[in-house]
Structure 1
Amino acid sequence: MRADRLVAILLLLQQRELVTAAEVARELEVSESTARRDLDALAMAGVPVYSAQGRGGGWRLVGGARTDLTGLTAGEARALFQVAGPASSANPAAKAALRKLVQALPEPFRVLAQAAASSMLVDPHRWGVSRFERTTPPFLDDIQDAVISGVQIRLGYVDGDGSVTERIVHPLGVVAKGPIWYLVTHTDAGRRTFRIDRVSSVEPIDDPVHRPEGFDLAESWREIADEVDRKRTPLEVQAVCTPEGIGKLRMTLGDRLEVGGSTIDGRIEVVIRGYNEYALAGELAGLVEWLEVTGPPGVRDHLTLIGNALIERYGRGSPHGP
């Protein structure tokens, strides 16, 4: 996890007067190019780190080896935790490192740092087949500022039909889902999610955010993504697959595939989601070498029709066959 490495680098810089990218790479068991990118990321985020060029050069903390984390400003502490990533989605080692870092901060900065660490989540799986690269929407920084500061915002929003509305929301977190940014909020109507590229205005107001008890951005986003996936792919197909075919299914179906336990004959139970029976049967027809669909009957019927059509078109004796 990158969060683990960035925190480790900062602690390493505290312990030594100067470190080189090669030393960081050796300590963290990464390539030198990765070490340089991480050091650059800390510097670009505003953490007080600088590079000394030439013979005997390397990376230092501003103020020398005696500089400790209590020397960070509020903005620097926030920048570190934003670049380190959300603690809620980090691995146990990264979480432990982030907790130690929080405890080393001056008391006034701790809440701000923790809010920055949990303000954003990255979900690399795309919805659909969009090949667009992720870009930064105009109001992303303003929205994340409100999440970290814990203040409500008056949000201007353009819906899918082009209608412009304005509402007051409690911003809880920002999620990058593939190339698209989303804002997770609490409203009078409950939890709501907004595409940030459709936000037309952001105005912070003085009222504090109401954060539902026990709210966790990663868990909340899993619930939101699962609900969207169910709406996009409402049909579930049950099937069994040979062990050697599971890799093919994962490659073809991605997160629409759920792998279960083994059957008596050594095959593996799977559940596959899709939009409708006909489309899903057409998709699964190319996987019959490894896959046997057990239900629902409608998908099996479509597979039968597809199989008969293939035999008629390409089987022996067909005018189009060999």
Structure 2
Amino acid sequence: MKSSRLVSLLLLLQTRGRMTAAQLAEELEVSVRTVYRDVEALSAAGVPLYGDAGHAGGYRLLDGYRTRLTGLTAGEAEALFLAGAPGPATQLGLGSVLAAAQLKVRAALPPELRVHADRISDRFHLDAPGWYADADETPHLPAVADAVWNSRVLHVLYRRWREPTDVERRLEPYGLVLKAGRWYVVAGPGPRTYRVDQILRLAVGEEEFTRPDDFDLAAYWTAYQRDFHDRLHRAQAVVRLAPGVTLDRAADHRREQDGWTRVTVPIESVDHAHAEFLRLGTGIEVLQPPELRERIARTVAELAERYGNFGAHGGDRGSGTRPSSRGGTSRAAPAQAP
């Protein structure tokens, strides 16, 4: 809608300062001619908007002009409160700041939007860390966040996975990323990625650094994840999958006469694939590489031998049966839930 686009244009100039018509058109995903018309509409409405010609020109608002935050839709108010994850904010030392900001925004909302915001808080809770993993201890996270914000150089003792494990590093922290409950700092020179929980010792230096103007944290992280997965899955396995069984990243699907599907799957290593494929039980058959097929065959043989000798060890261990007073066996009563 034009009204929404005019508000977006106004907020862009308010937050970024001078912008050219081409830059505004790219941000708003409209033509430059549309930007010209929108600027004329804002000027006619009394907004102090000025255009400067020349190489360094562009549109800008009169110094000191600010627009009030009005016109929030119900969806925007809901998204605003959903975006504020209390867990990560607390880890960064900003829990009370986030709570105060949300309180102020909530107080400024009209009653009908306040209901939507409260409903989001009541019905949705964001919990980033995964199951079956202890939370990482990140005592240096607030100091790293402060260095990111103030462009201060860090001198750290960092533990990595290869020898020598403990190394000293000089970091220029560009930004922080929270991925699956784990914090990473992206730092120059490079840049490179470091796990915050692996920082053993930290000292904030007096030196300041200049963050590259063209550095985009979100774009860097997207490329980093893509490169990580490409490096991770350098080998391949050829497997057969039972009907209804699927595998992520599988390719070259070929349906066979018995209903099974032959696919090619990228794998990290024989050890990793061995553990992952065993989880599928009888729903998978590994064909290639030979060392992976032999490894799984040995494991299955060991399991068959172990459970094949089940009767020789008494027959009732873990069987859920017990001797009966009448000489036979009776089924044990199921355990009651607490």
User: TM-score, normalised to structure 2's length?
Assistant: 0.47
User: TM-score, normalised to structure 1's length?
Assistant: 0.49
Question: Larger RCO: Structure 1 or Structure 2 (Cα < 8 Å, ≥ 6 residues apart)?
Answer: 1
Query: Which is greater in Rg?
Result: 2
